[in-house]
A and B are shown apart, each in its own frame.
Chain A
């Protein structure tokens, strides 16, 4: 990561050159550059950066609205949610006074919108229609990623620095239980059958499988150094797991056997991921390398490395695989 001033100057120059020389694009990928406060727009056909939009201060995660008509960018240092058109990458609107949103998610029943404040140890619950604050809980320490059960009864939050998963009851708006897990839990997802939570534990280098109804860990699956995040392949069975170190990798977790079945070398600190609808490509932001990496899932090789901005975090395209 370079100094903000230098970064902006260099990137303005780079993106101007790119925009002037790149043809029109078909599909669009959006990558958040969290240290630059921008989004890079990438043509998914040519793999070229075709534009850059200014977003806000420290955008970390993004989330499509349930109907995919907007892409919500959570701007932690601006206290805003910025809505982008996922087809054009242009800004649609802003919601202000959302305090320090880091990670974000809609409950499956679309009733609740939940944000975590990683830096300030807090979880906020908003009415998803009106964006009015309905619940707030102190969540020490370092609430990071979140997942819901299918009935929208709970939101489960990883607490990175207290090595726990918190179950927050959305009916009572109170934490119901805390479960100790491996060191530095980050990414968390619900299994396709709504039975297990899968938690990526960075410090432990494994994925922890939790029977959330029984509140116990049933298995740990070693994944690699700095196991950080999870993304469904879209086939209802397999999940990609990113190991976020400079010399990093992404592995494939089979949820039927609860074992790792494939491994791809993805350097640069792979973090958030997105899978193409046809299942042929996996895209991942490389946090430490200022790049978005593309893995060909047929050959299992890294085939593209696209230069973007500093500390790229969230990535999204409309033509994505299912979320289970």
Chain B
């Protein structure tokens, strides 16, 4: 059964590679990228499977047990476009193509001078013989870094202007997860690349790590009454927990002046760093007026991208004026 699934998966993957990807790569003299392209095809196939699960399981759940009932779903349409671009690999591929050459140059330069970047296995050699545990450790370290990236994107006004695109959705659904400014995606890619370089995450793990993160994020934005149980909600970020992060009104208190519940996978970071907020009710989502540079409340993809850049520019300009 397992072998049959694996065989079927790689048969389709190989067919796509042979038919659609390899011929143009060879014709363009890019044969070295075939192995990378094979991984790219895998990302695409996992994206298709994820979309199928979302359509066949999660979307019906939103219909059967909705948290909020909306008159129409027009505002959600743009999020679907973001999701397609993200899950089918278009945005990840573009971000990778932009970032990878820079890091290869940097690492190549360091290594030529004898510096070998550290690896988490240098501290914990036992992980060399326990790849599953090593994978989990990478996930925890990565999630710790993601917590801080996320928190900082709410703290700096120029960054918040970009990230606000994600928060401007008042009809939060399973598709909202991928709604991000493209520059915010690039910054996220850079952040991940630095962490991967610092702890030695092998490129072969990228897809697995991405799948776990995307699955949890998909579920944490869902517009459905879905609970992981009392214990589960403490261990992993769920829809109720994350809804407070998207709340239209921030919880009271100085600790929450930039927001709350920043964790992506594990709530433990919010608990450790004082940004945990737990409440029983489910608040409305969105951004309060006049809290973001620019006006990130338009529905169109390109309009949102433009608003984000303009907001970032305004925030940087205001900061410069304040300094002078």
Contact = CB atoms under 8 A, between A and B. Distances in A.
B26 interface: yes
Given A2-B6, A35-B204, A120-B111, A226 B131 contact: no
Contacts of B324: none
B119 to A, nearest CB: 7
Contact of A14 (B3, B22, B116): B3
B231 interface: no
A183 B29 CA distance: 6
Contacts of B32: 142, 160-161, 184
B14 A246 contact: yes
Contacts of B208: 3-7
Interface centre among B39, B42, B131, B212 (most CB of A within 10 A): B131
Nearest to A77: B202
Given A1-B10, A203-B26, A287 B18 contact: no
A245 interface: yes
Interface residues of A, number: 59
Interface residues of B, number: 49
Contact of A8 (B14, B35, B111, B135): B135
B131 A54 contact: yes
A290 B6 contact: yes
Contact of B128 (A78, A99, A160, A311): A78
Nearest to B117: A79
A54 B208 CA distance: 18
B202 A58 contact: yes
Contacts of A117: 111
Contacts of B35: 287, 311
B31 A160 contact: yes
Contacts of A36: 131, 204
B31 A246 contact: no
A189 interface: no
A184 B29 contact: yes
Interface string B193-222: 000000010111101110110000000000
Given A97-B116, A184-B31, A203-B26, A8 B10 contact: no
A5 B211 CA distance: 10
B305 interface: no
Nearest to A7: B208
A126 interface: no
Nearest to A38: B131
Given A54-B131, A120-B108, A3 B46 contact: yes
Given A35-B204, A138-B112, A119 B104 contact: yes
Interface string A72-87: 0000011100000000
A203 B31 contact: yes
B132 interface: yes
Given A122-B112, A246-B14, A226 B2 contact: no
B18 A247 contact: yes
A6 B5 CA distance: 12
Contacts of B132: 5, 8-9, 12
Q: Say whether chain A's binding surface is mostly helix, strand, loop, or mixed.
A: loop
A205 B31 CA distance: 11
A249 to B, nearest CB: 13
A127 interface: no
A35 B205 CA distance: 8
B38 interface: yes
Given A97-B116, A121-B108, A184-B29, A1 B13 contact: yes
B107 interface: yes
B321 interface: no
Contact of A226 (B10, B26, B202): B26
B104 A202 contact: no
Interface in A98-138: 99-100, 117, 119-122, 136, 138
A173 interface: no
A225 interface: yes
Contacts of B29: 163, 183-184, 203
A134 to B, nearest CB: 13
A268 interface: yes
Nearest to B6: A290
Highest count of chain A CB atoms <10 Å: which of B34, B38, B119: B34
Nearest to B17: A246
A129 B208 CA distance: 39
B228 interface: no
A292 to B, nearest CB: 14
B266 to A, nearest CB: 16
Nearest to A244: B34
B9 A77 contact: no
A54 B202 contact: no
B204 A57 contact: yes
Contact of B14 (A12, A79, A288): A288
A266 interface: no
Contact of B26 (A10, A163, A225): A225
Contacts of A245: 18, 22
B203 A3 contact: no
Interface of A: 1-10, 12-14, 34-38, 54, 56-58, 77-79, 97, 99-100, 117, 119-122, 136, 138, 142, 160-161, 163, 183-184, 186, 202-203, 205, 225-226, 244-247, 268-269, 287-290, 307, 311
Given A203-B30, A290-B6, 8 more contacts: A56-B128, A78-B202, A99-B111, A120-B107, A184-B29, A184-B31, A246-B22, A269-B14
- Across the A-B interface, give the 7 residue pairs with the lowest CB-CB distance, nearest first: A184-B31, A3-B208, A246-B14, A4-B208, A246-B18, A202-B31, A57-B202
